[in-house]
Amino acid sequence: MDAKIVGQKIKEARLSKKMTQAEVVGTFITRNMLSQIESGTAMPSMKTLAYLSTVLDLPLSSLLNEETGTLEPPQTLVDSSPYGQLSTLKSLAAKQDFRGIMSILSASSLSSEDDIYDEKAAYFARASYECALLCEAEKDLSGAIAYAKNAEYYASAGFYANPKLKADALLLLARLAEELGRQYR
């Protein structure tokens, strides 16, 4: 395990939850120790990693995975039953982890033959729209446009079609097109 990567993941998780170091450490470790862990100058014990994963509400495996320096959401649905899939999607939506939803669902994985297609399409549309807004804020216009197109399309799909979300996605696409036009003038 690379101490810098582990520290970066812990810090990202803490900041994404808008928690201070003091809120995270409680009485388990000192704030100074957390600071050293986040800066990569100290490697936490397994007991400390387990504590931090619990406090920050993220899987311990995500802290131990060194494939990336950024915190990655789950890549697959743990429970593949329809109820398990909906439970996972609902949990991610409650945490407003829209990128997590996008890591599980993709346009190519949505099939109208799926028993829970309507629900997946609704989650996918909302997550796509929210990711489009995140990309727009990060000045990633091509990403924002791709997500907004997915949001517009899937907001019309299935039983849970959402005309307001479709309209919001279309307005976002118009705003993005205008911004793109300004960049090429």
pLDDT, tens only, 35-77: 999 998 888 877 788 788 778 877 766 776 654 444 444 444 4
Q: Where in the chain is the domain with CATH 1.10.260.40?
A: 3-64
pTM comes to 0.57
Terminal-residue alpha carbon distance, the chain? 48
What topology is assigned to 3-64 in CATH? 434 Repressor (Amino-terminal Domain) (1.10.260)
Mean of the pLDDT values across residues 87-106? 86
Residue 181, pLDDT score: 86
Q: Is 44 left (phi over 0), alpha (psi -120 to 50) or beta?
A: beta
Task: Determine the pLDDT at residue 61.
Answer: 67
pLDDT classification of 180: cutoffs 50, 70, 90: confident
